[in-house]
Structure 1
């Protein structure tokens, strides 16, 4: 039987996993779409500056330009970095975007918790 954590492990083997330092470096360089996949109640506690909010359940609809739910900023040729609370949802989401044709996708390994633990700034 498969498990969700098995799925996360397999996804992480197929995607780019970034540390908080690597994400911070990429954000400084610019032209990155940073996507917060958490639910509104989670975001209320703080978020990474400049993030676009796309709860995990709507990500594929926001990323697909053929849907009425498409969000500006999502482009298959743009660098996209995803994050969630601890890195599991974002790993699955990064793999999903790859399957939609996104070519330059990564996620913050360890998620928002890793960002906080590294002493990185957040917006409230």
Structure 2
């Protein structure tokens, strides 16, 4: 980590069309929704690591989020992060950036925007897309 901490305003946000392009060229989809949300529908091949848990006291941040992500990814990996509507994904993106992940971006609007764009049930297709973060 470079010692600086990024704020929510400094997170890399992308729209669903840019996200789809990045997935087409090999980025991985990190879904930070709860297991229950994920099971209702998700991008095929997505990694599901919840950023928050729902408890009897409300939502609580997953204290092991970074550890769990680092068990299945490396800091040099290229990740597209999404929750349901963008809020948790944005916070997760900042946490990942602050841990040294450089190629990570949050999908604005989250999985809901993905579905609204008609991408639900679609997988990334190989293309000559040139998106890079």
TM-score range, shorter chain: 0.7 to 0.9
Shift of residue 93, structure 1, vs aligned partner: 0.5
Structure 2 matches for 1:1-124, cutoff 5 A?
11=8, 13-30=9-26, 32-56=27-51, 57=62, 58-64=64-70, 70-71=71-72, 74-122=73-121
Which 4+ residue blocks in structure 1 deviate beyond 4 angstroms? Answer: none
In 2, the alpha carbon distance for the partners of 1:46 and 1:87 equals: 16
TM-score w.r.t. the length of structure 1 is 0.78
What secondary structure sits across from 1:80 in the alignment?
strand
Shift of residue 33, structure 1, vs aligned partner: 2.1
TM-score w.r.t. the length of structure 2 is 0.73
In 1, the alpha carbon distance for the partners of 2:121 and 2:32 equals: 15
CA RMSD, Structure 1 to Structure 2 (Å): 1.4
Shift of residue 18, structure 1, vs aligned partner: 1.0
Give 5+ residue unaligned stretches, structure 1. 1-9, 65-69
Return the structure number with greater strand share.
Answer: 2
In 2, the alpha carbon distance for the partners of 1:29 and 1:77 equals: 15
Return the structure number with greater helix share.
Answer: 1
Give 5+ residue unaligned stretches, structure 2. 1-6, 52-61, 123-133
Mapped contact 2:49–2:69 kept (Cα < 8 A) = no
Alignment size in residue pairs: 105
Shift of residue 63, structure 1, vs aligned partner: 2.8
